Amino acid sequence: MVFPEYFLPAALTKGRPAYRKQPETMLKNQHTYSLKEKRNILIYFDHNATTPINQEVRNVFNEAMEKYWGNPSSAHILGIEASRELKNARIRLAQLLDVLPSELYFTSGGTEADNLTDFNNVCQ
């Protein structure tokens, strides 16, 4: 990816204030930066689509995916273990949020959650 210099801090524009350049100069003087340089200047504005995961959360998630990967709706041992862990997680989260476990709904993503709330609003 090429970053026009007017998007970069002065440290990456060799001390020249990038905002003082004329637009036609800005587009002509593009510089390709290394991945390390890009990470140092990255400002992420798309958290509604994807958000970085906290390391502690990632560790718990990875452990759950390794140990309890069965379908919690299945009757075999892997499903029973996954169902038990899901119920325990629901109870812990309900306690943290000070709600009843039956008031929590887990969905596969944002669209499913939106549809669930829309459906509930229509039915009430």
Each domain of the chain, given as residue ranges in start order, spans 2-41, 55-123
Q: What pLDDT, on a 0 to 100 scale, did the predictor assign at position 96?
A: 92
Q: What pLDDT, on a 0 to 100 scale, did the predictor assign at position 43?
A: 74
Q: What pLDDT, on a 0 to 100 scale, did the predictor assign at position 49?
A: 74
Q: What pLDDT digit, counting tens, does each position of 33-88 carry?
A: 676 676 666 677 777 777 888 899 899 889 988 999 999 999 999 999 999 999 99
Instruction: Decide which of 108 and 73 is more confident.
Output: 73
- Rg of the chain's alpha carbons, rounded to an integer? 24
Question: Which residues neighbour 37 within 8 Å (Cβ) at sequence distance 6 or greater?
Answer: 12
